[in-house]
Amino acid sequence: MELHLELAIDRQYCDKSRPSSFPEHAVVLIDSITWSYRMFFRRLAQPLRTLNSIATFVTRPSLYTYPASHHLRTMASAMGKRLEGKTVVVTGASSGIGKSTAIEFARTSPKNLKLIVTARRLEVLEQLKEEIKKEVGDGVQVLPVRLDVSNPEEVRNFVGNLPEEFKDINVLVNNAGLVKGVAKAPSIAEEDINIMFNTNVTGLINMTQAILPIFLARGEAGAGDVINVGSIAGREPYPGGSIYCATKAAVRSFTDSLRKELIATRVRVIEIDPGQVETEFSVVRFYGDKKAADKVYEGCEPLTPEDIAEVVVFAAGRRENVVLADTLIFPNHQAAATVMHKKT
C-alpha cells in the first residue's frame, strides 16, 4: 500500500493558487492552517509508513526471512552441481586428510561423480570404496588404484592404465606426503631425506605433470584444478623438521610458479596449508611410536582431517573464475608453527 497523505495535503493547500484579492490577514490565517494540517498528517503518516515497511519486509523473500540452514543447503547444493559429472583424483587417500577428502567429495556431490583414490595400501582403498557406497549409494563411482607417488614409473603409467571412463580428470588433489623423524643435521638419516623428497616434492610434481596435459587439452583455454596440500612448515621452518620443512617450502614454490605459468589458461592452481592436524602423520614421524605421537597433541584440540577436507572440496566447488590460491588453516590455539597454547 502506497501512502500519499502528505503529498495530498501539499497539493490541496500549497500548490493551489490563492485569489489575489484575499486580504493580508486572511493569507496569514490560511498559511497557518496549512502548516498545522501538514504537521498533523505528517505525524499520522509516519507510523503508517513504518507499518507499510514491516509488511513489505514480511511478504518479500529476503536473506533474513530464511533460517541459516536454508542458506547452507543452498550453498552445498550449488557446490554439488558444480562438481557433478567431474572426475577427481585424490592421492594418499588411505588415511587422514586424503581419506576424508574423498568422503567429503562424495557427500557434496553424491549424484554423479567419479573418484579415483590412490595410495600404497590397496586393501584400505577397497574398504574406503565400500564405505562411500554405503553412505551415498551408486551415484559416486570409486576407483581404488595402488600407487606409490615416489615411484616415477608408476606415476608415468598412471593415466594410461586407467579405465577409459576415468581418464577425463577434472580435479587433482596432491595430498600424499609424509614426515620421518625429528633428527637435526648432521644426524638426519639419508633414507629419511630421500623418502621425504621423493614423496612430498618429486611425487607431487610428477603427478601434476602426468595430469596437466588432460587439463590443457580441455576447451580453448584448458580447465581443471590442481590442489596441493602443503603445510605451515612450508612457511615457517622449525628445529627438528628441516627436511620436511624444506619439502613443503618446495611445494609452495612449485605451486606459485605453476600458477604464474598457467595464467593464460583456465586451470586453477590452489594450495591449502594446514597447521596442526591429528592424523597418522605424527605416528609415521615417530616410526610407529603411538605414545610419542599422542604427546604432540596433549593439552590442545588439533584440527581434524575433516576440517581440511571441507576446505579442499570448498575450493574445488567454487565457480570457475574463483581461485582460492593460498589458504592457511590453524586450530584456535595455534598462531604459528611453533606458537601454541596448551593446557597444563
Q: What residue ranges do the domains of the chain occupy?
A: 5-59, 69-340
Residue numbers annotated as active site: 244, 248
- Rg of the chain (C-alpha set): 31
Q: How far, in Å, CA of 325 to CA of 311, rounded?
A: 12
DSSP class of residue 266 equals S
Candidates 2.30.30.90, 3.40.50.720, 3.40.50.12780, 3.20.20.210; correct CATH number of 69-340?
Answer: 3.40.50.720
DSSP, collapsed to helix, strand or coil, labels residue 135 as helix
Residue 5 has pLDDT above 70, yes or no: no
Single pTM value for the model: 0.78
Structure confidence at residue 1 (pLDDT): 43
15 or 117: which leads in pLDDT: 117
Q: How far, in Å, CA of 63 to CA of 199, rounded?
A: 47
pLDDT, tens digit, 9 for 90 and up, residues 221-241? 999 999 999 999 999 999 999
Structure confidence at residue 137 (pLDDT): 96
Give yes or no for a contact between 201 and 247, defined as CB atoms under 8 angstroms apart.
Answer: yes
Classify residue 326 by burial, with Cβ atoms within 10 Å: 0-12, 13-18, 19+. Answer: middle
Question: Average per-residue pLDDT in the chain?
Answer: 86
Give yes or no for a contact between 177 and 230, defined as CB atoms under 8 angstroms apart.
Answer: no
Q: How far, in Å, CA of 145 to CA of 116, rounded?
A: 7
pLDDT, tens digit, 9 for 90 and up, residues 268-324? 999 999 999 988 777 777 777 778 778 888 889 999 999 999 999 999 999 999 999
pLDDT, tens digit, 9 for 90 and up, residues 111-145? 999 999 999 999 999 999 999 999 999 999 999 99
Q: Before 186, cis peptide (omega within 30)? A: yes
Q: How far, in Å, CA of 27 to CA of 14, rounded?
A: 12
Average pLDDT, integer, range 21-29: 52
